[in-house]
Structure 1
Amino acid sequence: MQTKTLLLLLWVCLTQSLLAQVDASEYPPQVTFTTQQDHDNMKQQLGITKLRPGYSGNETDPNHANYDEALADPCPKLPDALTTQNGKKVTTAEQWWNQRRPELLEAFEKEVYGRIPKNVPKVTWVVKVTDREFVGRTPVIAKQIIGTADNTAYPLISVNINMILVVPTNVKGPVPVLMMYGRPAFPAPAQPSPDDMEKINTTFKEMMINTNPEMKAIFEKYPAYQPITRLPAPNFFAPPPAGDLPSTEQLLAAGWGYVTIDPASIQADNGAGLTRGIIGLVNKGQPRKPEDWGALRAWAWGAARGLDYLETDPLVDAKKVGIEGVSRYGKAALVAQAFETRFALGLIGSSGKGGATLHRRFFGESVENLTGSGEYHWMAGNYLKYSAEESPFGKKTGCDLSVDSHELIALCAPRLTFISYGIPEKGDSRWLDQKGSYLATIAAGAVFKLLGAKDLGVSNDYTTEKMPPMLTDMLNGELAWRQHDGGHTDAPNFKYFIPWATKFLKYERKDGQ
């Protein structure tokens, strides 16, 4: 295993070295657009001459978003998730899997999130660093893992997916793992012993003196001073901190592992980056076409490639891997779970429009906001059509979409799906339209029940069901909802999510080394 890893590392280094020797003239030159230029290019491809502008989140601005429920539902009837395109009612699981689900996937790919190209490159994973650490009181193994996309077809762009896996060592594995979008970092890097630290300091002082001879007099003036010191060791006898532990520590304490995957290492979060990253690599540095994937789909693809690696790691129970994200990464997490059936569960935090909130709802964030130059890169180019004011195909709105977010949630069925929000008073802004997500979750429940799973335990009539008060637990089924009393985060729901997921996954922690 070590030999194989070493060879892969050498291959990555060789690839990077060869890149410097690539003759760029042999390949199509990379297009370098600003975000506005790329946005204009997509409008031109679609023939759109005028888009409706987005709305302001500041309620004092003249163009502020709508927060009047009387105006929120210009087209209150949702597409029926259980009626096929030819009008046939879906009454069996077989009909869902063989006909209706493929129809919905096709519609979401074409009009909302974009298609993953057939020639998307293979990703090769290498464990770069393995470290034994302590997170709080829990001993762990932490691995930095790099996934390199094959760029032989266009070596001018490199994509190296960065993620860190952390699993407890005081639990008999393999263990469930929650993959989370974020910035990977070792949680508590192991430190050299005092003897090793002394050698490091001695060498470091010698290097400094060689670089600057004046340092010799300074060190002689302070002979006991050590430039590099050890961080304080964990205090296992200290009382636990007040309040909830960090989400990662809660996972480890429950016998779970976690992965942090860097979305920026997959695809940049801006329109200018669409000719770079994995989207740019596949397109050989050229602008997108209207059906090409956006950043949400690219981040979801990257998570699926991370799951490819986790399936090979003996420390991980690959049948019990979940995906988590908040805000734009909540959108990406829901897209990942909907399209990639290997994800056993999802924790979808404050995802708003483009995530769990209904597109056709006119409340807070709107379709027009998602098609403006600040957020359009999340979506397929075709999504711009739904805020077109003047175009060859006329005027369109979110009401013209053939699918909506209740059907995206339904694509996760019957797997575990936890929709999480906070409250506006604490910063989970009304902009997100929490009610729009609740209505979508209610409507999606019919598919969960068809497939033998439990939904929220109420009717699936989204026209009459009322959103429950915050802190109401709706956790008795595979489809779950909870609105905590915090802000724009899902952290307060972790202490509910973990036991809920553990129960439905039928995971039993087994202590031991």
Structure 2
Amino acid sequence: MMLRSLLSFSLVAVATAGVAQNPAADADRAAMMRALGITALIPGANGDPKAPDAASTDEATANPYPLPDALRTTDGRPVRTAAQWRDVQRPAIAAIYEREVYGRVPADLPPVRWHVDASDAETIGFGRAVTARRLIGEVADPRPGMPPVRLRMLVVLPARATAKVPVLMMFGPAAFPAPSQPTADESERIDAALKALLAERDPALKPIFARHQAHMLAGPAAPRRFDPTPSVPEQIIAAGWGYAMIDPLSAQADDGSGLRSGIIGLANGGAPRRPDQWGALRAWAWAASRGFDWLATDPAVDATRIGIEGVSRYGKAALVTMAFDPRFAVALLGSSGKGGTTPLRRHFGEEVGNLATGEYHWMAGNFLKYDTKGVSPPQLDASALPVDANGLIALCAPRPVYVSYGIPAAGDAPWLDQRGSWMATVDASRVYRLLGASGVADGDYRNMPMPAVLEARDAGELAWRQHDGGHTDAPNIPHFLTWADRVLKRVR
């Protein structure tokens, strides 16, 4: 670790050591560094285990710093009651996360005006009828020159539900799952109309169509192949839930060069961010909250049982969403790593330097300060962060949260630090217990053995399961849905 601390990024060469070069993003990061008085950053660890600067996977050196005590105030007072947590400690932790880690959302953002762009009656899986609607949320800036932001969301609900249905919102493209296709008769009519219009525009096409009468410009779609493994959407619908796909990239690009556009750019009128302003993770969470606004108006949706889900970087965004929007009832967090459920203080796998350099646009500018120890003022590292993943999970309490990981052998890399996430989840359990809910374990997070792979710790509102798949939460979806119905007291 000492060897790595001697390496640094200068303002000129900030993107040259293990970070993909992007001139616009590099310039934006360099400007933020100047605003903070930072002259260099420590490069992140390398995900290649054979590289000289490979990420550490040594448990003997993994815990140089203890986790901040989520049940002790910054002035050292213990938090012993639910009222203290609600009125004092929770707001304090949330404020630190806003200022130092994820950034603040501007209070004066223009409203989002949703409209249904398209609707379709579809069939998912083996005969499960659904109604799918694609929505567009327009965010128009009254100032001239800034293009509007157009949020995209797809809402899919069971077609034959007899009561309001819970909905799991997921981060991903808002694409129709199984677009309905014209019948053979309808395809023939469309084909005839197309050929007539084209021949009218270009008469030379008429003899071509005559020579190839069997060729159809608009024919029936090829039949879908049967897949015996139910997809995630099919499992959700089969359980009596609906789902919504909120497209995070419709709100904010996943790139530092996009910080002067999207919703962050719109909020600033195209100007650069201030150090305490939001990054992409908070922007994606904001988009999910605006999607919730619309879902809560749909009479077919049970607005008291809307959940949020994400994997990897979107697992981080799902946790941020759950932590800052108390309306979400439940969360499924897949393989979220650092910036999500894994402690930033752990020297294992991904490091603070990876987030501060290659993925700095996810975070507030102030986060860069914690990657300067030994190379630049203000000489801070992860040990100076007054909050960590245990506190972020605790911000969700007592609402139900399901933490999901896979295994390295199947592709859920050690980089994600599954054990570190387990430790943070164990420590967050203390807050759940204080609030009258149940955690995953009772004891010291530093000495608590991890559950075996496939062993679910899901008796209470905070749950954990490591499946035997890779970088996905799909194997945990059926377990999550059963658990969610139980903790949300829903009868199928």
- Normalising by the smaller structure, the TM-score range is over 0.9
More moved, 288-297 vs 459-468: 459-468
Amino acid paired to 1:358: P
Instruction: State the 1:98 CA deviation.
Output: 0.6
Q: Distance in 1 between matches of 2:386 and 2:347?
A: 17
Cα deviation for residue 173 of structure 1 reads 2.7
Who is 1:360 aligned against? 345
Asked if the contact 2:285/2:317 (under 8 Å) is kept, the reply is: yes
Matching residue within 470, 474, 491 for 2:457:
474
State yes or no: 1:79 paired with 2:64. no
Separation of aligned partners in 2, 1:490 and 1:367: 24
Question: Offset of 1:65 from its aligned partner?
Answer: 0.9
Paired letter, 1:181 = F
User: Percent same amino acid among aligned pairs?
Assistant: 49
Match of 2:205 in 1: 215
Identify the residue that residue 29 of structure 1 maps to in structure 2.
none
Q: Tell me, in whole angstroms, the C-alpha distance in 2 between the residues paired with 1:296 and 1:70.
A: 32
Partner of 2:242: 257
Comparing 316-325 with 168-177, which one deviates more in the overlay?
168-177
Instruction: Give 1:341 shift.
Output: 0.4
What corresponds to 1:89 in structure 2? Answer: 78
Tell me which residue corresponds to 1:242: 228
Give runs of aligned pairs for residues 481-496 of structure 1, distance below 5 A. Answer: 481-496=464-479
Q: Which amino acid aligns with 1:165?
A: V
Question: 2:39, 2:377 within 8 Å by CA — same for their partners in 1?
Answer: no
Give 3-state SS (helix, strand or coil) of 2:259's partner.
helix
User: What CA distance in whole angstroms lies between the structure 2 residues aligned with 1:412 and 1:280?
Assistant: 28
2:379 — aligned with what? 395
1:154-206 Cα deviation digits (max 9, x unpaired): 55221010000000012213100000000111112223344332221111112
Query: Is the 1:50–1:389 contact (alpha carbons within 8 Å) kept by the matching residues of 2?
Result: no
SS at match of 2:167: strand
* Aligned partner (choices 119, 124, 128) of residue 117 of structure 2: 128
* Secondary structure at 2:168 match in 1: strand
Partner of 1:24: none
What secondary structure sits across from 1:180 in the alignment?
A: strand
1:100 alignment partner in structure 2: 89
**1:433 and 2:423 are equivalent in the alignment:** no
1:285 aligned counterpart, secondary structure: coil
Output one character per residue of 1:36-66: Cα deviation in whole Å (capped at 9) or x when no partner. Answer: 0001001100000111111110011111111
Secondary structure of 1:34's aligned partner: helix
| Cα distance, 1:393 vs structure 2 | 4.2
Moved over 6 A (4+): none
Q: Is the 8 A contact 2:457 2:463 kept in 1?
A: yes
Q: Measure, in 1, the Cα distance between the counterparts of 2:91 and 2:427.
A: 19
What residue number does 2:427 align with?
A: 443
Query: What is the CA distance between 1:106 and its match in structure 2?
Result: 0.5
Query: Please, what TM-score do these two structures have when normalized by structure 1?
Result: 0.89
TM normalised by structure 2 equals: 0.93
Query: Retained in 2: the 8 A contact 1:138–1:170?
Result: no
Q: Give the SS at the match of 1:487.
A: coil
Structure 1 residues 481 and 193, CA, compared in 2 at 3 Å: closer, same or farther?
Answer: same
Q: CA RMSD in A?
A: 1.7
Q: Deviations over 1:428-461 (max 9, x none)?
A: 00000111100000000011111111111x2231
User: Is 2:152 the partner of 1:156?
Assistant: no
Q: Equivalent residue of 2:433, what SS?
A: helix
Aligned residues: 470
For 1:338-361, what per-residue CA distance to the aligned partner results, in whole angstroms no more than 9, with x for missing partners? Answer: 000000010000000100000000
- Asked if 1:503 is matched to 2:489, the reply is no
Is 1:177 matched up with 2:163? no
Report how far residue 272 of structure 1 moved.
0.5
Q: 2:408 aligns to what?
A: 424
What is the aligned partner in structure 1 of residue 270 from structure 2? 285
Residues 36-51 of structure 1 aligned to structure 2 (within 5 Å): 36-51=26-41
User: Which amino acid counterpart does residue 307 of structure 2 have in structure 1?
Assistant: G
Matches of 1:303 and 1:88, distance apart in 2: 35
